[in-house]
Amino acid sequence: MKQTRYIIFSISLCIFNNLQAVDYATEIQPIFSSNCTMCHGGTNGLFLDSYTNVMAGNSNNGPVIIAGDAGNSILVQKISGTANFGDRMPSNSPTYFDSHQDELQLIKDWINEGALEEETADIGKEDFLPERLILNPIYPNPFNPSATISWEQPRAENIHISIFNLKGELANEFSFTKSQPGFNSFSWHPENLPAGIYLIQLTGETFTITQKAIYLK
């Protein structure tokens, strides 16, 4: 098999356990309500007064939240001071998140966990472990610039993700050492790969499962 690109990352910290899932209504909206809605709750522009409005964005610069991808979410860039336009938010107190790093991290975690409204997908999972490895639907799909690959596993085990193009050539590869039981997720950013269909293969110690994802440019 021809291997056009062969990269191994050993990532163990990049794993989110469902026990730490962030809840939008009780943990995220209060941050926006205290610091943002006095400006972002009016009659036009970006509203940060409800989950639906935050996700809709109504922004001049594209959506402000990309589920699964805090780094590329404009909202995170605006509160971190890394956006390439306008002022750092909240504009009436631009260093707010320097002194509230915990809140900044909560927002990033919430987005990286999929920017869900409720932990619905996780309810009961603390008690529920699958009998075997489950690969959840790749999200979003088709995708750009990154896709969230998430899975559930019955026990701590080494997980390997191999990503192939339709010719069967290995395009990317990732290893997770002693991935923890329950829900885990990983954000795939294909770099220097052409648009097209990719096969995402998740391999545990006893089970392999593959899904198709479409990368658009």
CA angle 51, 139, 121 (to 5 degrees): 60
Structure-block tokens of residue 52: 């639906």
Min dist. Cβ of residue 39 to ligand HEC (A): 3
Return the number of the residue (92 or 210) whose C-beta is nearest ligand HEC: 92
Q: How far is the CB of 55 from ligand HEC (least distance, A)?
A: 12
Q: Are 93 and 154 in contact (CB under 8 A)?
A: no
Whether the Cβ atoms of residue 158 and residue 177 lie closer than 8 Å to each other: yes
Distance CA 17, CA 137 (A): 18
Give the separation between CA 180 and CA 173, rounded to whole angstroms: 19
Among 28, 70, 90, 146, binds ligand HEC (CB under 6 A): 90
What span, in angstroms and rounded, lies between the C-alpha atoms of 105 and 164? 33
Q: Which of 36, 67, 111, 138 lies at the binding interface for ligand HEC (CB under 6 A)? A: 36
Residue 61 interacts with ligand HEC (CB under 6 A)? yes
* CB 83, min distance to ligand HEC, A: 7
C-alpha radius of gyration, the chain, whole number: 19
Tokens of 214: 């479409």
How many residues at the interface with ligand HEC, by CB under 6 A? Answer: 23
- The distance of closest approach from Cβ of residue 85 to ligand HEC in the complex, given in angstroms and rounded to an integer, is 6
CB nearer to ligand HEC: give 39 or 55: 39
In this chain, which of 22, 64, 138, 202 binds ligand HEC, going by CB under 6 A?
64
Give Cα 177 distance to the centre of its chain. Answer: 20
Question: Whole-number minimum distance, CB 187 to ligand HEC, in Å?
Answer: 20
Provide CB contacts within 8 A for 146, sequence distance 6+.
Answer: 66, 68, 69, 72, 187, 188, 189, 190
Position of tokens 């631009």? 94
Q: Which is nearer to ligand HEC, 51 or 215 (CB)?
A: 51
| Closest residue by beta carbon to ligand HEC | 86
87 in contact with ligand HEC (CB under 6 A): yes
Return residues touching ligand HEC (CB under 6 A): 32, 35-36, 38-40, 46, 48, 59-61, 64, 74-75, 78-79, 85-87, 89-92
